[in-house]
Amino acid sequence: MADPKRLLIVDDNEDILSTFYEFFNSLGYEVKTANDGFAALKVLREKPGFFDCLITDLVMPNISGVGLIAIVKKEYPNLKIIAMTGYGDQPGALASEAEADMVLFKPIDLFKIEEKVSALLGQK
């Protein structure tokens, strides 16, 4: 890829974070990670406009994924957002309400997510 797309991946599970990191990295994406909503918000505010897509878990300490999506949609309306949840319908519904571009339910096939990311970012 001449111009690698930049992803920020947020999850409080370190195993998931590293798996996602390896996977997207190997496909040529430029990947950064954060382990909760607050850390993610700080990264985003440090580099406004840097990222193309945010992939975030929903149930996390301090700033939840839903909170992060609500803040980010207001501050960076162009950033594409994919929400992932393993906690049933409630957080997913709130993420849609907060205008996540897509809500996926765990467990999620990594190749499926990549397809969605690619589609959201208008590649291929």
Contact between 121 and 79 (Cβ < 8 Å): no
Using CB under 8 A, which of 22, 28, 48, 62 touches other proteins? 62
Size of the site for other proteins (CB under 8 A): 19
| Residues between 95 and 114 that touch other proteins (CB under 8 A) | none
Contact between 32 and 43 (Cβ < 8 Å): yes
Cα–Cα distance, 72 to 119 (Å, whole number): 20
Cα–Cα distance, 47 to 70 (Å, whole number): 18
Is 22 one of the binding residues for other proteins (CB under 8 A)? no
Give the pair of three-digit tokens for residue 96.
Answer: 């849609």
Using CB under 8 A, which of 14, 22, 99, 115 touches other proteins? 14
Is 115 one of the binding residues for other proteins (CB under 8 A)? no
Which residue ranges make up the site for other proteins (CB under 8 A)? Answer: 13-15, 38, 41-42, 45, 61-64, 66-67, 70-71, 74, 90-91, 94
